[in-house]
Chains A and B, each alone.
Chain A
Amino acid sequence: MCLAIPARVVALPEPETALIDVAGVRKRISLALVDGVAVGDYVIVHVGYALTRLDPEEAQRTLEMFAQAGVAPQGAQ
Chain B
Amino acid sequence: MGYEELFPTNDLNGWHANAAKRFASPFVDNYHDRIDVDPIILSNAAVQCGFTIRDFYEKPELGIHCVGYISELFDLLPVTHWFFSLPWVRELGLTLVYKDTLPPVSTGPIYEPTAEGIESMRVIEKEELMKGTTIPLYFGLYDYVQKNLPHTLVPISYGFDLVGAPAEFVGVENFIMWTFTEPDLAHKVVDTFVETSINGADVLSDKYGMAMLIVGSVLANNDIFADEQVEEFSAKKMGYYVDQCFRKGAGPQVFYHLCGNHETSYKVFKDNLMWSPFNVLHIGYKGSKDFPADLLKKEFQDVTTCMGSVDTKLMINPNPKVVYERSKECLLAGRDAKKGFILGTACETPPYTIPGNLLAMTRAARDFGTYGTW
* A and B assemble together: no
